[in-house]
Amino acid sequence: MPAAAAALPAPRLSVVVLAYDEERSVRTVALAILAELRRLGVSWELLIVDDGSTDRTGAIAEELAAANPGVRVIHHGGNLGLGGGYRTGFAHARGEYLTFFPADGQFPETIIGDFLARMGPCDMVLGYLPDRRGSLVAKGLSWAERLLYRVLLGPMPRFQGILMFRRTLRDELPLRSSGRGWAVLMELILRAARGRYRLVSVPTACRARLAGTSKVNNLRTIRANLVQLVALRKLIE
């Protein structure tokens, strides 16, 4: 974390936007999140993680930071995947509460206010999608993937998409997962669920991407997730 950022008072809330080649949506998403943060009236920071984008995502993020105090940008030298984005957020976010949003616009910014209002008695709020749309094939793959998670990892809190948690959890819970995928985030959730922490799962909305196509909804990603899943099981046994 830059010394100048570390010297500032810690905000109440940190929102990390994960962006890889999202030049068509990152500005709209960031501005919507900024409007929600200002509406909430709490101290905040918005951290945009440019994950080695090859388009104008990084340049647009810098324009947003120049025009909006409280916005910071971190550029990865290459594409590090979701895992790299999460670890960067863990390392650089300074808020009491921390949440991650994709830059594709699929999740409404109003989730931030909803989750923040629930954080008082909780250590972690987990969103899930009660009625996710998609093809029968996509739904079938998702169902099979969740079943394997349960078989390999045991009972798990319900989670899909957005979460918010007390930032101190990242220091209190040892996270050993590596790699490009979501394993480090799932490890955090599992360790919190098996510890003395208070978790709650709540339904959230999900909408179509603002632009482009999904980079994760495919067999290749599911296969990679399963490899991570087996490795994660060994870490938390």
pLDDT at 178 (0 to 100): 84
Nearest to 51 by CA among 28, 29, 75: 75
What pLDDT score was predicted for residue 76?
98
Report if residue 3 sits inside a domain.
no
Write down the pLDDT at residue 6. Answer: 58
What range does the domain containing 197 cover? 10-236
Say what the pLDDT of residue 24 is.
96
User: For the segment 192-226, what is each residue's pLDDT rounded down to a tens digit?
Assistant: 999 999 999 999 999 887 877 665 555 555 666 67
Smallest CA-to-CA distance from 116 within 44, 47, 172, 185 is with 44
Q: Angle between the 183-193 and 81-92 helix axes, to the nearest 10 degrees?
A: 60
Instruction: Name 23's Cβ contacts closer than 8 Å, sequence gap at least 6.
Output: 53, 55, 56, 57, 60
In a domain, 1, yes or no: no
Structure-block tokens of residue 110 = 């109003």
Q: How much is the pLDDT for 156?
A: 81
In a domain, 4, yes or no: no
What CATH number is associated with residue 24?
A: 3.90.550.10
* Pairing of β 97-102 and β 71-75: unpaired
State residue 137's pLDDT score: 55
Residue 185 forms part of a structural domain: yes
Give the span between the Cα atoms of 232 and 194, in whole angstroms.
14
Is the residue at 176 inside a domain?
Answer: yes
217 touches 129 (CB < 8 A):
no
Query: Does some domain include residue 132?
Result: yes
Domain total in the chain = 1
| pTM strictly above 0.85 | yes
Residue 57 within any structural domain of the chain: yes
Does any domain span residue 58?
yes
Residue ranges of the chain with per-residue pLDDT less than 50: none
